[in-house]
Amino acid sequence: MSSNTLVTPDHIADPIPVETRGRAKRRHGGTHLILIALAVMWLIPLLWTLYTALRPKAETDKYGYFSVGGAYNFENFSKAWEQAGLGTYFVNSVIITVPTVLLTLLFASMMAFAVSRFSWRFNVTLLIMFTAGNLLPPQVLAAPLFSIFKFVPLPLSISDSGNFLNTYYSVIMVNTAFQIGFCTFVLSNYMKALPHELTEAALVDGAGVWKQYYSIVMPLCRPALAALGTLEVIFIYNEFFWPLLFIQSGSRLPITTGIKNLQGQFLNDYNLIAAGATFTIIPTLIIYIMLQRHFVAGLTLGASKG
């Protein structure tokens, strides 16, 4: 080919062989099939709950749960909202979830900053201890924590029970303690990937430890904090065990625990319970849809940094 010959796309060799492309397509096709199958498996309980909630109990008793006949309406939703008082439980969930998430991110960011930006004798040991706490089943600590909260006095102006039981404080403290380890692990990996020259330059300019923390490192951790905040809201909002253990007053239960008020003593209206369960799903779905990008990033944040 002479130097004056025009080079067209037909003259350019394909760098990827056809056989390699075919294998890649087949491999991706199999991955997509697996993901679709898993998505369907996860959606079946949700769709079945919604379907059950749309059917009156009389129709279900007549045709059976595994049937498609009869009428469909929204009567169960209005009845569940009024009978269970779900509005109060939603407010209780907000009172528990918001402070817990803020405290968890605050304490975890402080701990992650200490173990990732400074070299001292026990930083790795302390990080291991925080991470190992997530491996402990929470039910193991149920009895000791219940006894501690029962015998630690509080002024009656703060707690009408005179202790930590039947208060929001107990649930907030326990949830914060159990979530700090996971958040510390993720944030420490993220902070280790930040250039150390930033804090070194700030130190030369006279910035102290606190100045480095909240003026330099924390603004750079906004993506990690947004991802963890999304995950923690979902984790804590869906928490069932601790509120059920520490709160005896029905008016203070969060939505996930308060929905048990829809259960009867001798007969359960599963259509009504399904409607109440559908209400509890709505806030989580809204948060996930609004912050989906951060949620997905949070699943791989610890693995992709550090």
What is the pLDDT at residue 306?
42
The answer to whether the beta carbons of residues 225 and 183 sit under 8 Å apart is: no
What is the pLDDT at residue 125?
80
SS3 assignment, position 17 = coil
Q: From CA 247, how far away is CA 173, in angstroms rounded?
A: 13
What is the pLDDT at residue 269?
82
Q: Where in the chain is the domain with CATH 1.10.3720.10?
A: 85-258
What is the pLDDT at residue 266?
47
| pLDDT tens over the chain, length 306 residues | 455 555 555 555 555 555 555 555 666 777 888 989 998 998 898 899 999 999 998 888 888 878 887 788 899 999 888 887 888 999 999 999 999 999 999 999 999 998 888 777 777 787 788 777 777 888 888 999 999 999 999 888 888 888 999 999 999 999 999 999 889 888 988 888 888 888 888 888 888 888 888 888 898 888 888 888 888 998 999 998 999 899 988 788 999 888 877 776 546 788 888 998 899 888 888 887 887 776 666 556 545 444
Q: From CA 165, how far away is CA 249, in angstroms rounded?
A: 10
What is the pLDDT at residue 301?
55
The answer to whether the beta carbons of residues 277 and 258 sit under 8 Å apart is: no
Q: From CA 3, how far away is CA 134, in angstroms rounded?
A: 67
What is the pLDDT at residue 31?
84
Q: Indicate the Cα dihedral angle 257, 262, 263, 264, nearest 10°.
A: 150
Neighbouring-strand partners of residue 153: 163
Residue type, 63: Y
CATH topology assigned to domain 85-258 = MetI-like fold (1.10.3720)
Let me know how long the chain is: 306
pTM of the full structure: 0.80
